[in-house]
Amino acid sequence: MKHWIGICVLILTILAISFVVAANINVLLPSTNVRTLAEIYLKYTYYPWDKYFTAMSPEACTSIVWDFRGLDTVFETMVFYLAIIGAIALARGVPLKPPKEIKGEPGLSLIVKTVTKIAPVLIIAVAGSIALHGHLTPGGGFQGGATAAVAPVLILVVFSQFYLLKRGVNKNSMLLLRSIGLTGIGITAFAAVLIGLATGHYAFVLQNQPKPLAPNISLPAFVGGQLISGSLWFFNFFEFLAVAAGFTIVFLLITLPEKLAETKEEKRAAEGGEK
């Protein structure tokens, strides 16, 4: 390969500089103690002896994302939503309809198709499992949604886009699924407030367990002996729906055949040339 001199010089430089830096400067390395804020989060992520500070979930990262810093995640979901709206706006006006007759056999060969028929079912099952147990072990809504988005890519590449369009997986149905997911997230964020309005007590937005100024309202941490950590399970489920549907829309739009989009462009170019 033609870059091997550059690579060898790079590796030797890295090893030499690391030796010099490690001998002189020690403050840049991570230490054996974490910061005080991290110790507080690690202590109170599952602390059943003081119900006012805990999130009742043994998974520290998920409890920070959806309970301790839930507002950050709401804004992140909004940024992702705006990006998908921007992508849909750039591809508007192009009809996503399958043609009346398809010449030949679209997609890859028969062997690939037979093997790929098993894979998307497995992928979506594993993705659902990752999303739903995100409050007990590493996982969560966004992890499951990103994994579930690999299945439509596989189907789009091996079979063709018309296979999905014929079975009802088009832009409008995925937009409906995404809207259901985002509405679910909104309702779960306001769930404690709605319960508080109905029973006449104080409650906060994005509240999971009872808080010092709102000690009467809490979403249940245990249901029938199983730990569901209040609002965390519902957040994970709705985020899984929203993320998987959003990615499917992006892939449907980016694998659009150029012939469907060319006709309108050519029409406009022809009209512009005649003027």
Q: Does 18 bind other proteins (CB under 8 A)?
A: yes
Distance CA 77, CA 264 (A): 34
Q: Provide the minimum distance between the beta carbon of 43 and other proteins in the complex, in angstroms, as a whole number.
A: 5
Read off the tokens for 202. Answer: 């104080």
CA 85 to centroid of chain Cα atoms: 16
Instruction: Please report the DSSP string for 205-229 in residue order.
Output: TT--S-BTTBTT----SEETTEE-T
Interacting stretch for other proteins, rule CB under 8 A, among 26-34, 106-114, 197-205, 210-218? Answer: 26-34
Neighbours of 51 (CB within 10 A): 14
**Binding to other proteins, residues 237-266 (CB under 8 A):** 247, 250-251, 253-255, 258, 261, 265
| The binder of other proteins chosen from 5, 27, 31, 213 (CB under 8 A) | 31
Residue 222 sits in the site that holds other proteins (CB under 8 A)? no
Q: Which of residues 49-78 bind other proteins (CB under 8 A)?
A: 49, 58-62, 64-65, 69, 72-73, 76
> Among candidates 196, 206, 230, which has minimal Cα distance to 75?
206
233 near other proteins, rule: CB under 8 A? no
Give yes or no for residue 79 binding other proteins (CB under 8 A): yes
What CA–CA distance (Å, rounded) separates 184 from 174? 15
**Residue 26 in contact with other proteins, rule: CB under 8 A:** yes
Closest residue by Cα to residue 53 from 223, 212, 206, 222: 212
* Per CB under 8 A, 17 contacts other proteins: yes
Instruction: Rule CB under 8 A: say whether 106 interacts with other proteins.
Output: no
Separation in Å, CA 93 to CA 155, 210, 246, 253, 261: 25, 49, 19, 12, 9
CB of 143 to other proteins, least distance (A): 4
Instruction: Count interface residues toward other proteins (CB under 8 A).
Output: 76
Q: Which is nearer to other proteins, 41 or 214 (CB)?
A: 41
Stretch that binds other proteins, among 37-45, 105-113, 184-192, 209-217 (CB under 8 A): 37-45
Dihedral of alpha carbons 32, 37, 40, 41, sign = negative
Contact positions with other proteins (CB under 8 A) in 110-149: 130, 137-140, 142-143, 146-147, 149
- Residue 48, CA distances (Å) to 68, 135, 187 in order: 16, 16, 26
Told to check if 270 binds other proteins by CB under 8 A, we report no
Residues 158-217 that bind other proteins (CB under 8 A): none
Nearer to other proteins, 62 or 218 (CB): 62
12 makes contact with other proteins (CB under 8 A) = no
Looking at this protein, which amino acid is placed at residue 71? L
Q: Which two tokens stand for residue 163?
A: 């296979």
When the beta carbons of 91 and 96 are compared against other proteins, the nearer one is 91
